[in-house]
Structure 1
């Protein structure tokens, strides 16, 4: 039996060669069709390009593209463009681009604390819908729509700010500000001490303070009511209603003649009596020196008045001296006083 033969199968060399050729043709046709399909099938997603004047540090092929914090695509290619610009090719998931059009803006931002960068899409003022093959120009006047917030840009900005700000002039300004602040220290300490004193002495709770404030409003209402009553009483006076001219004339006399005359009188009295008041000063000073201990003098004067009251009681016809005189053995005085009686 030949090598290509099988037990129980009638086959010859020609039939075997024919079957093998047919099988190889089928495999070749399948491979060719798959290759053709793969070459003609477009990749999923929306392909757009960004033309920029700068690329953020760490932005490479494969860098994530985010919108509203969600990954919506990746960077597929970065190539140089005309006039020293660069073109960044993106492939985006058009199902996640809600509200984005060709007016969008971009940020080069760090994705985490390790400095890995990404591209963040921001909505613009409004424009045309994004289409496959759209090239967004961020050069020239549109360069402001690109913001570089990568870690490298932040470090460069910090170094530039430090070099331009930390100068001897800035040190002198800080020293002057410190001196001025120190000059205000006593005032601040006084304010703090006053506030602490108020806080430590305020023992009443806020509810009690508000409760005590309530009667004040009640008193205010009563005062307003009394004021209205006084105004109504003045308006309802019979004299004002029947003889208003006489009342006005008397009021004019009081306000126009009497009060100015009193003011002039007191002014003249103050001018003329100024010397007299100057004379009273040494007199009052001498009186004050006569009573060096007012409390002791007051007690002694009170005791003296009490003794006088006890010695001269009131008899109904005026005070009389309560005294007894023993005149025995003095006939020259006793006989005339007693009228000759023994």
Structure 2
């Protein structure tokens, strides 16, 4: 093979090999120093482990961590060491980690909720006063965090739809249809009444409404009159006496038993049948009385009219004694009339 070398810059194959080995060794040394330096220098990451009995939908590695409304980190890992037991590693980085550790304690409340209006799930921390301050690597026992994520909300709505609404919706509609069918006649009658009132009304509501108001006032007055007797009845002390209930029960039992039995026997056919022979005699007696006093009703009316006229002619005077009222016309005695001061009678004959 023909070799092409630049004069003054040529070297042997061993020299090139040594140069390559030195270059490789230098790169390896620089890489190792870089890795050791990065591990030696703190990376500013703070980790808090949250132990909970459940993890909401949408909470996964990369989900945001929100403390008192501010996003301070992300969920770096989720582990399930045992059934119904989860360990969430919260990665708090940068200056926000120092601010978070300043308020995080073992009394911090943990919940799952959306971090924005789009429903993105996040681990929400709410600081509480008191408690032991948290440090890098500390563990926070959250128990059963409140789940207010959009996923849980939609699942609950689906459960309500499938388990509560759908199975009974047909029954509800059936009952509503039956109730509507039952009310239709009443609504029809009410509509017909209103139509008749509108067609036949001759008195304006301005006149009828005050009368209805007076009627309501009268009904109220009636209730006002009834309340005092009812109140006195409620304060009746007799039923409160010892033994009153027993005596009342005995009286009602006696009335319901022996008294009703005797009345029933007295009104039975066998008892009433014994008075049958008296019926012809009583009938003849009544006929005789009617024949003796004919037109007794007319006579009674006339007697009542006469008594009313006498009562009118004899009104009560001073001391309650009856006084006879007499109106005499003295046209034939002008002197007596003038002495008595009677006015002249117009259109009436002398008496």
Could you say whether these structures have the same fold, taking a TM-score greater than 0.5 normalized by the shorter chain as the test?
no
TM-score for the superposition, normalised by structure 1: 0.42
TM-score for the superposition, normalised by structure 2: 0.41
